Amino acid sequence: MKYCSTCGHPVEHRVPSGDNRHRYVCPSCETIHYQNPRIVAGTVPVWEGRILLCRRAIEPRYGYWTLPAGFMENSETTDEAAARETREEALAEVTIDELYTIIHVPHIDQVHMFYRATLTDGRYGAGEESLETELFEPHDIPWDEISFPTVKRTLEHFVEDMRSNRFPVRVSDIRHRMGDKR
């Protein structure tokens, strides 16, 4: 951030009085510009035991497989965002079943939330952000072509939980950057 969205004056990056973190602060109008993590909401959409994945038509990770998900918009709930993203990316209507995974990704200031979901009528297609969509049997998931660590972790949990038909809410962190060996 370079300029104050309130008055247009150049901002400073400093710890404001009474705070404990660096923030963008306008020295002219005293506005403190808070920046908070972004929420990514998505679904694990299922139809007759198969999981719907989308092949990405956008960067990052163009051509890789993902669960339908994206950034939450203002004025919507996380489950509404998850259903909307599924509609946009997979042209699929879903019934949201339950919250399934919450994965904190602090190094990119994001929280990823995936809901278990059921396709309402079995229909799906490729939206603007998808090259193609496909229903996969759990043993046919293209593991080496999964787009993001949060998607892979969610799918690994889901396939494991399908065996017992128990789907607890799973909360975890991914603290490393892609390419790190940690």
Q: What tens digit of pLDDT does each residue of 34-91 get? A: 999 999 999 999 999 999 999 999 999 999 999 999 999 999 999 999 999 999 999 9
Looking at the DSSP assignment, which residues form a beta bridge with residue 70? Answer: 41
CA–CA separation, 43 and 125 (whole Å): 15
Summarised one tens digit per residue, pLDDT across range 89-137 is: 999 999 999 999 999 999 999 999 999 999 999 999 999 999 999 999 9
What's the fold here for domain 38-173?
Nucleoside Triphosphate Pyrophosphohydrolase (3.90.79)
Report how far residue 40's alpha carbon sits from residue 81's, in angstroms, rounded to the nearest whole number: 8
Our measurement of the distance from residue 164's CA atom to the centroid of its chain's CA atoms, rounded to an integer in Å, reads 26
Residue in the structure block whose two tokens are 């404001």: 16
pLDDT digits (tens, 9 = 90+) for 8-28: 999 999 999 999 999 999 999
pLDDT of residue 180: 47
Q: Could you say which architecture CATH assigns to the domain 1-35?
A: Single Sheet (2.20)
Q: Where in the chain are the domains?
A: 1-35, 38-173
Is-cis flag, bond preceding 138, omega within 30?
no
Judge contact between 85 and 42, C-beta under 8 A.
Answer: yes
Please answer whether residues 23 and 13 qualify as being in contact, where contact means their C-beta atoms are separated by less than 8 angstroms.
yes
pTM for this one? 0.90
Furthest-apart CA atoms within the chain: distance in Å: 60
